[in-house]
Chains A and B, each alone.
Chain A
């Protein structure tokens, strides 16, 4: 039986930011070890999770991502001493702002993974994909600003 739009499960598009020194290598480790995880996450490598300008996250959502994964070294293990603590502080503030914009905080996930934690990385990514699947598509750029005006009010006769 072929998939129709109704039966085809929703495949979320997730943008994942990884740190060169830990979580990217964790993803690499998962690959080398032949661990399977769903292909919904597009990984981008940064030198450090602290390099993550919150703008990257907003741009990903504005560009059509259903969710964003931010990952880095465990607190205390940063290659650049303490930059991942900045991520730790920015992350909840990003979630708060996104919530006010109507984007569920659960669409933004923070994951610490060391270079050896390929299994943890793969499991967490799989779990995240299922969580996002349950939330449904975000459809950010298909709603709103480009939609031409409908009367924005109910007609109440004078």
Chain B
């Protein structure tokens, strides 16, 4: 290995979709700055490197490690511990690492159902109804694959995390700003935020950045956006469209509401929000325009899947983390 004086950069993916990687590449020519200022030592999606290469490194040798993805199996957890040990700055990068995101929705269901869905439903060609087994005896020896955990965990439920960078995926301009900041900090020209801070995002809510007009919210009926002719100027929640803006961290410039879609909450809980879904329960229910229990119930029927609506990105990172069904692997 040649000696390289540049600080080292790593990026890893666990239970995630790969969108965070694409978001990093979407910083366009700024990626050349990454290359100019860092030596990329480990990035499975972009380059060939082996776990053994990382194991050989000194502790703290990697300066900046962006981790995306939740902890779904024992391999994820093993690499999380490994990269924690080898990295100076470990960033929980993207919604999956921070709060579980879409892979975390599996925490609603017993893991058996999750596996069955993956291996038996109509989109899977599996005529012999096979399932993966963690270890299998071959004439040549035992072969193994990672063992699935019953519930998905967030990165900080497994290892100590230095910074959180939310978003599904984090906005590219935010990534570019964070990379600029780290480069400036390495050159001694800027200071890194305190440990545990959320970086690359705002401190307020999506509503705060949203340009739509707001009046008084009085909801007589919840509707789904695809079945509604929504006023393009008016607050979506005011029109009865479940928009997660009130609880969601700012930082995306309210992209979805500006494009005519409701906020689905990918930037996670806003500053000071301990449980994202609880904040939305308060926000949505309080503005129901009725004092009669039966009518309230009827209006609430318009929210077809409230837990899915409120914890779409946040289930694994919420106070309850996983449903009883997932915890006990039974219905």
Q: Which residues of A contact B (CB under 8 A)?
A: 53-55, 57-59, 61-62, 75, 85-86, 88-90, 92-94, 96-97, 100-103, 138, 140, 143-145, 147, 149-156, 158
Most buried by B among A53, A54, A86, A155: A54
Asked if A89 contacts B286 (CB within 8 A), the reply is yes
Cβ-based interface call for B122 (8 A): no
Asked if B328 contacts A143 (CB within 8 A), the reply is yes
CB distance from B216 to the nearest CB of A (A): 14
Instruction: Give the docked Cα–Cα distance between A57 and B300 (Å).
Output: 19
Q: A144-B151, A144-B322, A145-B157 are in contact. List 9 more A-B contacts (CB 8 A).
A: A86-B285, A92-B285, A93-B281, A93-B303, A97-B277, A101-B307, A102-B327, A144-B324, A152-B149
Asked if B321 contacts A149 (CB within 8 A), the reply is no
The stretch among B10-18, B176-184, B197-205, B288-296 that forms the contact with chain A is: B288-296
- Residues from chain B with Cβ under 8 Å of A58 in the complex: 275, 277-278, 318-320
Asked if B147 contacts A151 (CB within 8 A), the reply is yes
| Given A86-B286, A88-B296, A149 and B275 contact (CB-CB distance below 8 Å) | no
Cross-chain contact of B321 among A59, A144, A151 (Cβ < 8 A):
A144
| Given A54-B278, A101-B320, A155 and B133 contact (CB-CB distance below 8 Å) | yes
- Residues from chain B with Cβ under 8 Å of A62 in the complex: 319-321
What per-residue 1/0 map shows which CB atoms of B115-136 lie under 8 Å from chain A? 1000000000000111111101
- Residues from chain A with Cβ under 8 Å of B282 in the complex: 53-54, 86, 90
Asked if B281 contacts A54 (CB within 8 A), the reply is yes
Q: Within residues 286 to 327 of chain B, which ones have a CB less than 8 A from any CB in chain A? A: 286, 288, 290-291, 293, 296-297, 300, 303, 305-308, 310, 318-327
- Residues from chain B with Cβ under 8 Å of A158 in the complex: 128, 130, 136
- Residues from chain A with Cβ under 8 Å of B132 in the complex: 153
Instruction: Give the docked Cα–Cα distance between A14 and B286 (Å).
Output: 25
Q: Within residues 59 to 92 of chain B, which ones have a CB less than 8 A from any CB in chain A? A: 73-74
Give the total number of A-B pairs whose CB atoms are below 8 A apart: 146
Cross-chain contact of A152 among B111, B157, B310 (Cβ < 8 A):
B111
Cβ-based interface call for B249 (8 A): no
CB distance from B323 to the nearest CB of A (A): 4
Nearest to B157 among chain A residues (CB) is: A145
Q: Which residues of B contact A (CB under 8 A)?
A: 73-74, 108, 111-112, 114-115, 128-134, 136, 147-151, 153, 157, 274-275, 277-279, 281-282, 284-286, 288, 290-291, 293, 296-297, 300, 303, 305-308, 310, 318-329
Nearest to A156 among chain B residues (CB) is: B131
CB distance from A56 to the nearest CB of B (A): 8
Instruction: Give the docked Cα–Cα distance between A154 and B111 (Å).
Output: 11
Asked if B320 contacts A96 (CB within 8 A), the reply is no
CB distance from B14 to the nearest CB of A (A): 15
CB distance from B138 to the nearest CB of A (A): 10
- Residues from chain A with Cβ under 8 Å of B308 in the complex: 100
- Residues from chain A with Cβ under 8 Å of B151 in the complex: 144-145
| Given A151-B133, A155-B131, A75 and B291 contact (CB-CB distance below 8 Å) | yes
Most buried by A among B284, B319, B325, B328: B319
Instruction: Give the docked Cα–Cα distance between A102 and B290 (Å).
Output: 28
Nearest to A100 among chain B residues (CB) is: B307
Cross-chain contact of B288 among A89, A97, A154 (Cβ < 8 A):
A89
Instruction: Give the docked Cα–Cα distance between A138 and B327 (Å).
Output: 12
Asked if B300 contacts A97 (CB within 8 A), the reply is no
Asked if A59 contacts B275 (CB within 8 A), the reply is yes
CB distance from A48 to the nearest CB of B (A): 13
Asked if A153 contacts B133 (CB within 8 A), the reply is yes
Nearest to A60 among chain B residues (CB) is: B319
